[in-house]
Amino acid sequence: MLNFPPMTRQHSLFAISAVSLAVLLGAFAFQLAGYLPCHLCYIGRWAHYAAVPLGVLFALVPGLWRVGLLVLAMIFFGNMVFSLWHSGIEWQWWAGPSTCTGGGGLSGAVPDFGNLNVVQCDEPALRILWLSLAGWNGVISGVLAAFAIRQGSSSVSQ
């Protein structure tokens, strides 16, 4: 079981917002470095886009601390499942959306778009320690979900 250091629920919400902001900044940094995201990668960022303002909002309203942590836990649990599904597509364990994998669902009758760079969802841009960025998003989302559940259900009331 994950053992997180004790902190107040308010600080936990700020921490979740900070981690999500760091994930987004990291994603943008990889993108600037030339690792272009696919359509599913963009969707995998939605939880972090939501968590940054929601975490701060929930932290600033004392009566919403516990509810906020549980809402964020659900968001990150869903994102973990989505990211692991996306990672499975990259490992070729199952098929992804036809518009996003191996040829993008385009036929030979499509006009030439020149140098259009289409990023396929079944081809990871990068792997770090055997996991793609989608896989790492799943790991981070799972840790954030566990952290939010733990902090939301703890006996710490502040």
- For 129, counting Cβ atoms within 10 Å of its Cβ (0-12 exposed, 13-18 middle, 19+ buried), the class is exposed
Rounded to 5 degrees, what are φ and ψ at 129?
A: 50, 50
pLDDT score of 130 more than 90: no
Rounded to 5 degrees, what are φ and ψ at 45?
A: -85, -20
**pLDDT score recorded for residue 32:** 93
- Cα dihedral 20/23/24/25 (nearest 10): 120
DSSP states along 124-156 = -S-EETTEEHHHHHHHHHHHHHHHHHHHHHSS-
Bridge partners, 128 (sequence order): 131
**pLDDT score recorded for residue 118:** 65
What would the two tokens of residue 140 be? 């981070």
Q: Which amino acid is at 14?
A: F
**pLDDT score recorded for residue 101:** 60
Residues in Cβ contact with 50 at an 8 Å cutoff, skipping those fewer than 6 apart: 75
31: helix, strand or coil:
helix
Residues in Cβ contact with 71 at an 8 Å cutoff, skipping those fewer than 6 apart: 54, 58
**pLDDT score recorded for residue 117:** 60
CA distance 153 to 132: 32
- Measured between its terminal Cα atoms, the distance across the chain in Å is 23
pLDDT in tens, 55-114: 999 999 988 898 999 999 999 999 999 999 999 898 888 888 877 765 544 445 555 555
Half-sphere exposure of 105 (CA within 13 A, CB side): 7
pLDDT score of 135 more than 50: yes
